[in-house]
Structure 1
Amino acid sequence: MKFRSVSDSVTSNPTSVTAPKRFSVRVAEWLLDAPRLSDSPSAKHLAGRLLKQPAREGVVAAQSRLGQLICRECGNARDRRIGQELLRQAARAGDRRAQQELGLIED
């Protein structure tokens, strides 16, 4: 009786786990940067939902964009504090846009 060996691709761990995070961040950035879509509340809501998980997982670009979105669009103090904390995390990681936004907020 002949046994087949299991291929390496079946037993190895997937190395490209970050692809969905990058995709959602890119789609969110596209929604926020598109001239016609960026003014739409539903586009901003969708972009926020797409950025939320990557921001929690420490993706600096997602933290920066979500922090900016929350600080600019939300009216209550709790959400502004969350947005500022996201911006601080991104600024500590070296994101220039977050550093500039924090400078504007704290001045």
Structure 2
Amino acid sequence: MKFRSHSISSPAKPSIVVPPKRFSMRVAEWLLDSPRLGENPNVKHIAGRLLKQPAREGVVAAQSRLGQLMCRECGNARDRRIGQDLLRQAARAGDLRAQRELGLIED
């Protein structure tokens, strides 16, 4: 049995396609800002899942949007507390929307 060796024209390492980091955040914002879709609880759940990783990575806008979503839409105290923590982080980073939301919550 004869084996063929790798041809010289093939790359040594396969190229890895890395999706843009902000793509999931853009999709989540589009879902939440859409007048028709943004009111659906299932869509809000999907948007929250899309915002979760960018918020963990420190993206201020994602922290702000996810914090608002968790404070407004979640029924349990644990999720509201996590949402407030996310809003505080975003507010400390200078996000005006998070600062306003915190002002509404803490008043």
Structure with greater helix share of residues: 1
The one-letter code sitting in structure 2 at the alignment partner of 1:71 is C
The one-letter code sitting in structure 2 at the alignment partner of 1:58 is G
Q: Which has the larger radius of gyration?
A: 2
Aligned to 1:33: 33
The CA deviation string for residues 38-76 of structure 1, in whole angstroms up to 9 with x for no partner, is 111111011000000000000000000000000000011
So what's the TM-score if we normalise by structure 2?
0.82
Deviation of the 1:23 alpha carbon: 0.8
Instruction: Provide the alpha-carbon RMSD of the alignment.
Output: 2.2
SS in 2 for 1:38: helix
Aligned to 2:73: 73
Deviation of the 1:18 alpha carbon: 8.0
Counterpart Cα distance in 2 of 1:30 and 1:74: 20
Please show how residues 1-107 of structure 1 align to structure 2 within 5 Å. 19=20, 21-107=21-107
Report the number of matched residues. 99
- Cα separation, partners in 2 of 1:36 and 1:79, compared to 1, 3 Å: same
The one-letter code sitting in structure 2 at the alignment partner of 1:52 is K
Counterpart Cα distance in 2 of 1:46 and 1:29: 11
Runs of 5+ unmatched residues, structure 1: none
SS in 2 for 1:89: helix
